Structure 1
């Protein structure tokens, strides 16, 4: 993948209204431009395909002949398409605040629902065999309170698949540099102002176990190395390279969308990139994959 990614700014104009509308529920504070087109779509698609190549499977969960699968936060629909292809007899629903890309080739067993995740779910409780969320809990206020809502969607024995990152760059050899420190100071301050937790990935397993909703909770921690020399595994090298550019796209998107209030400046971003590309550093971000069976 050549070059650092840049995200365009999306500007929306309000439409006049003759009568006051009922107060809507707040939206989950997704910090980036729309995910259904442009650079952000390519970033999400590249990230999905990199993870899929590494895992070589849809999930580690032992899913047997599911009839209904729900993906919350479907983005570009890449995971939902893979699920619908893997389980052609299942009904797969992709749910997101944004529509699926118009150019997406949808299997016949895949449908889409537009929804705000902070609203009540428009689904019958206990009606899904699988519920999947990837990199969505990081955008939800009080994510620990969301676990019970997700569990309510599952049939007994159904699987909840939660995947997220611990959004902290670690160096195995020494403390991170001033560029990384400055970027995370601004990024964490911005995310906390939104009421969300950038390090939720490392807390998923504990939250799932504390909910008492599952008969088993499993976790796999995948190190995503920024420096390909940090591992001899070619699949991990590929995954780390993709995550590096994807994460950079997140920071660029925040800077472009909210400006200085996001705490990230071009100077901070350049310093972060210099340190991430330093061949002497052993930097990584951990991705946490969980699969939990409802009791």
Structure 2
């Protein structure tokens, strides 16, 4: 676990002064938002004030033996100690794969470079434990960082003075953040969004001209590590398939049954942001980050193998905890506790044996806001030779696609063996019994 992760305790206790929340002195509520704003807050960002862990508890509830957020039914995942620890391991694996907190290693520092006394501002939508926001606040101490999530973040030691956190639901709009940020980061929130195209447009509107939006989200399919093609999901009709694939597959299906727009999220990010009217298509790219599941790398380079196996070990720990974290979601949509426990037991054995070399893909898309309608993004400040960003990572399974055509070709490659018939769901069986 990296230094930032160690500074994030897993106690979901929230205190106003400790978190540097903006005090809410006016009773103004933004349309479509649960947040309040202060008349004397010049940044005009949304906040919801907490003054005790009792007050924070209003955003949480108990379900199926786990603590779940109480703000949105579409994101029915835990918000407790085990989940915080899992998310921090996941964060570390992603950072190791990217070689840093973000892709676009040259452009992000240029966008956030302090110029003429202007305050640079970063918005982290779906901030989870707050670890990414805290890391960015430390890397760019001259910038102001705002983290937003459905539930209070866990207690943070040594919180940098330039970061604060807010509770809000992205599905309710982001008008109160419009035009204020140089960088907007959205990571792994797709299963909780009800209208991805609207949230994408809202996030882009939060950018200043020239600002950068970064989207990262999970691919709910698993891939072979040899040629990065779809691994078949196990079912009663296909017991030779991958059992780890089954709870992940059912998570996506259960999210859709709960109102999530996750299928459109997958399509939108894989196709990229080139057609967004607010973004400069010349600055848009997509990428695939394939994270190993398990320490099975044996490429012949001991240093690289050690690096990759650390990523694989973190991802195995993350997923072993993660596929059990989704049990409440699967049970809610009709699966029995015994069935999901059986899937998880088989999935754990697969990952422990490491016989089936698999990877989890992180889909990534980004682009910069135009200077004005139909105009390109503003030029970035020139970087001197000693400050110019150098390649930051040695992880070999990060692939960047520079055009729509490249992105589309990779979609066809990844899904060429993917079946179109879904495993039977309990709801299907109930419908058949009625017929």
TM-score for the superposition, normalised by structure 2: 0.57
Q: Which residue of 2 aligns with 1:224?
A: 291
* Residue 208 (str. 1) matches residue 273 (str. 2): yes
Provide closer, same or farther for how the CA distance between residues 292 and 183 of structure 1 changes in structure 2, counting only shifts above 3 A.
Answer: same
* Residue 267 (str. 1) matches residue 342 (str. 2): yes
Q: Which residue of 1 aligns with 2:363?
A: 288
Count of residue pairs the alignment pairs up = 276
* Residue 68 (str. 1) matches residue 121 (str. 2): yes
Shift of 1:114: 1.5
What secondary structure, in the 3-state scheme, does the structure 2 residue paired with 1:29 have? coil
- Segments of 5+ residues of structure 2 without an aligned counterpart are 2-63, 115-119, 234-240, 371-435
Distance 2:68 2:220 in 1: 27
Give the 4+ runs in structure 1 shifted more than 4 A. 172-176
Q: Which residue of 2 aligns with 1:10?
A: 67
Provide closer, same or farther for how the CA distance between residues 182 and 87 of structure 1 changes in structure 2, counting only shifts above 3 A.
Answer: closer
Deviation per residue, 1:210-264 (Å, 9 max, x gap): 3232212122211112243246343333223222322332321121466363646
Distance 1:100 1:272 in 2: 29
For the pair shown, the structure with the greater C-alpha radius of gyration is 2
Provide closer, same or farther for how the CA distance between residues 275 and 115 of structure 1 changes in structure 2, counting only shifts above 3 A.
Answer: same
Q: Which residue of 1 aligns with 2:259?
A: 195
What secondary structure, in the 3-state scheme, does the structure 2 residue paired with 1:288 have? strand
Distance 1:200 1:248 in 2: 24
Distance 2:177 2:188 in 1: 24
More displaced stretch, 234-243 vs 152-161: 234-243
TM-score for the superposition, normalised by structure 1: 0.82
What secondary structure, in the 3-state scheme, does the structure 2 residue paired with 1:266 have? helix
Distance 1:88 1:211 in 2: 31
More displaced stretch, 199-208 vs 142-151: 199-208
More relative contact order, 1 or 2 (CA 8 Å, 6+ apart)? 1
Distance 1:207 1:145 in 2: 15
Q: 2:102 aligns with which of 48, 54, 59?
A: 59
Shift of 1:126: 1.0
Q: Which residue of 1 aligns with 2:378?
A: none
Shift of 1:12: 8.8
